[in-house]
Structure 1
């Protein structure tokens, strides 16, 4: 059964009900995951879930329910459950559904050749990735896991106000964890990449980067505690940005759970930083014509010239603030109602090559990994986490270092950015270039 048939089936159950409004979201997908180990297929998973959800509005109450069964009795039960939810929820005058709008055509989101690629070729991608990593250097002794994944999805959203949006999307990804050993020491390097089209996924680059990370940390040593200039590579910069991302969501701002609440227009960041959320970004993991409520996705500048420029809104939170939605409703799947989230959330790239970020640093640190960044306090912004990387001496990267920790405050860190790299890279829906920080507390021996 396709999504159009599902929508019409559920719509027939809703139109005769005494409701103030309704919304139907139907999705069908096909997912494949292949994991290889020692040149054998270790895992092969294939699924094709289909489901539908409804939200109903009555007397200010919003009810939600879903069904992965498409038989009539189960769909009727889903509608009844949503009605019960609406009746028992606290009424809110801002509960509403999106207004109809025109959507941008995005044919590039769908790879019409993916389905024709033989499964054997997809399995070979995982096997090839493992071989390529092992061939980089004899010190790469094993691959913990080499994986290939793909997903094809079709989604349609219709509501009682006239919203009717549908799109198809494909995504492919691969990842690998490499182990390097030398002189009794072992180090791991991980890397991945993703694309919307099968032909655009290059496993050679993934293998090279994963091997380089593992090999680069061999012989890592400890260093004394110091306060010094630091360069965050694009992976670490993205990890730290991910902790800051929820602070831009209007729901957290309005509930007092954001360290940015009440600070719009203030100078909070380094003047050369621009932070953006862009749901229309070409080839972005979070790119789509519309969000989980049917609102067109858009580009929103959140920080510019160092100042907090604004926040992200969905329909409910936009109503409470008296502003339109920024197309920032997301959902984790058909089983969850829309909630606030980012699309493609990133720091725009600068003009300095990575090597240029090291220039002028007499003694500092290049951070390539942080452990436990999710433990940072999202309201105060304070953090203290383990880290690894390389020593910078006289403007050059020298020896690898381990057993260190970094501490500080996220806002203070982004305020002290003095150079921005040109190497913007996305890790899923979030991305950042490498950043040079004026000073950071590094705990060592």
Structure 2
């Protein structure tokens, strides 16, 4: 049975069962993950996945069900499961099946140049990256991972209100984690690249990026506990922003899980800070012309020059707040219910180069890496206490690498205490991005 036949029968049986409106959400994906170790293919995993979820409204309640198989038995299961689930719901939240928008923006998230690549070329790429690491520096003793990954996927949404949407995306990237050893001290670094064409993946550049980072950490030492002028490198700031981006969800504020409740149109950050959610970003890892409810997506400034202008909404939270959806109703998988999630979420870049950021800092600490974010960051209060690494900065230059320190602060206070924002906006294998920033109010604990 093909998808169109399945859909027609499913919607008919759902209507007969009492559903007022029904919808299917379909994902079809494929991924190839190649891992290289010591010039051999350690693993070669080709995964294909298909999934269909059904949801329908009955008596004002919405029920979900899902399947991987398109047959008559699945149709009956989907209808019965969703109906039983809906009848068990006790909350009175209004639910929606969306009829769609008049216009959807074109989004660049699929590149034919990386479709149908020869796996042999991807294997060779991984071998070359690993080999270049050892050729670049004799102190490379091992790798903590060397992978080349290609994935593609297609999403389709169709419902009884006439909505019919389809979008496809693909991505190719490679990374390596070289481990170096000098005088008994081991350090690692990461080299990576996201590409829209395999020709963009230069093994020497990726290897150099990882090895140089590892070399820069050699002879790291702790510093004494004190108050330091502090800059947070773009990749470190990304990890921090990733841990706390959920506080901008209207679902979190409505459940009392975010301190941003009732803070719209107030200053919550420095005037230097603009935070953007942009699902229309070319080749962004979370770019899409519509969300998983079929709402057209658009670029929006969540924080504009320090002022909270909007929270992220799906249809349900928007109804509660008497506003419109921001196109952020997403599912974590085909089998999940719709929640509120950011797309490409980032701090807008400023005007200072990285070197100018260090010059402005003068003397202080550059944090390049945070660890322990899952256990050391409280998204409700905003408090964090994290192990960190970085560099001591003197006269606007890196003086020596620093580790074995703990950085403590509060995310909400940090946003208010950002003094400068760099122009080095980066998305390190992530849909969350940030430039390097200078901030006050952080506590640095060392020896």
Pick the TM interval, shorter chain: over 0.9
Q: 2:434 aligns with which of 429, 432, 435?
A: 432
Structure 1 match to 2:338: 338
Structure 2 match to 1:135: 135
Q: Give 1:100-139 correspondences, 5 Å limit.
A: 100-104=100-104, 106=106, 108-139=108-139
Query: Is 1:322 aligned to residue 322 of structure 2?
Result: yes
Is the 1:386–1:404 Cα contact (8 Å) retained in structure 2? yes
Unaligned runs of at least 5 residues, structure 1: none
Q: Give 1:273-312 correspondences, 5 Å limit.
A: 273-312=273-312
Structure 2 match to 1:222: 222
Instruction: State how far apart, in whole Å, the 2-side matches of 1:198 and 1:338 are.
Output: 34
Structure 2 match to 1:376: 377
Is the 1:364–1:393 Cα contact (8 Å) retained in structure 2? yes
Is the 2:54–2:82 Cα contact (8 Å) retained in structure 1? yes
Structure 2 match to 1:405: 406
Q: Which moved more, 1:125-134 or 1:81-90?
A: 125-134
Q: Which moved more, 1:140-149 or 1:14-23?
A: 14-23
Unaligned runs of at least 5 residues, structure 2: none
Instruction: State how far apart, in whole Å, the 1-side matches of 2:434 and 2:107 are.
Output: 26
Structure 1 match to 2:156: 156
Equivalent residue of 1:48, what SS?
strand
Change (3 A) 1:25 1:362: closer
Is the 1:243–1:376 Cα contact (8 Å) retained in structure 2? yes
Q: Residue deviations 1:348-384, cap 9 Å, x none?
A: 1111110111114343111111111233111111111
Q: Offset of 1:3 from its aligned partner?
A: 5.0
Change (3 A) 1:43 1:13: farther
Q: Residue deviations 1:156-191, cap 9 Å, x none?
A: 101222221011111122221110110110011124
Instruction: State how far apart, in whole Å, the 2-side matches of 1:279 and 1:367 are.
Output: 29
Q: Residue deviations 1:238-267, cap 9 Å, x none?
A: 111112210110000101100211212222
Instruction: State how far apart, in whole Å, the 2-side matches of 1:4 and 1:303 are.
Output: 42
Is the 1:3–1:27 Cα contact (8 Å) retained in structure 2? no
Change (3 A) 1:106 1:205: farther
Q: Which moved more, 1:433-442 or 1:319-328?
A: 433-442
Instruction: State how far apart, in whole Å, the 1-side matches of 2:221 and 2:107 are.
Output: 50
Change (3 A) 1:109 1:3: farther
Is the 1:360–1:394 Cα contact (8 Å) retained in structure 2? no
Q: Residue deviations 1:280-339, cap 9 Å, x none?
A: 111111101111111111111111121111101001101111111111011122121221
Instruction: State how far apart, in whole Å, the 1-side matches of 2:17 and 2:205 are.
Output: 55
How many positions carry a matched residue from both structures?
Answer: 445
Equivalent residue of 1:261, what SS?
coil
Query: Is 1:183 aligned to residue 159 of structure 2?
Result: no
Change (3 A) 1:125 1:301: same
Q: What is the TM-score with the length of structure 1 in the denominator?
A: 0.95
Equivalent residue of 2:108, what SS?
helix
Instruction: State how far apart, in whole Å, the 1-side matches of 2:196 and 2:88 are.
Output: 42
Q: Residue deviations 1:189-213, cap 9 Å, x none?
A: 1243324554444554432222121
Equivalent residue of 1:369, what SS?
strand
RMSD: 1.8
Q: Give 1:348-359 correspondences, 5 Å limit.
A: 348-359=348-359
Query: Is 1:19 aligned to residue 19 of structure 2?
Result: yes
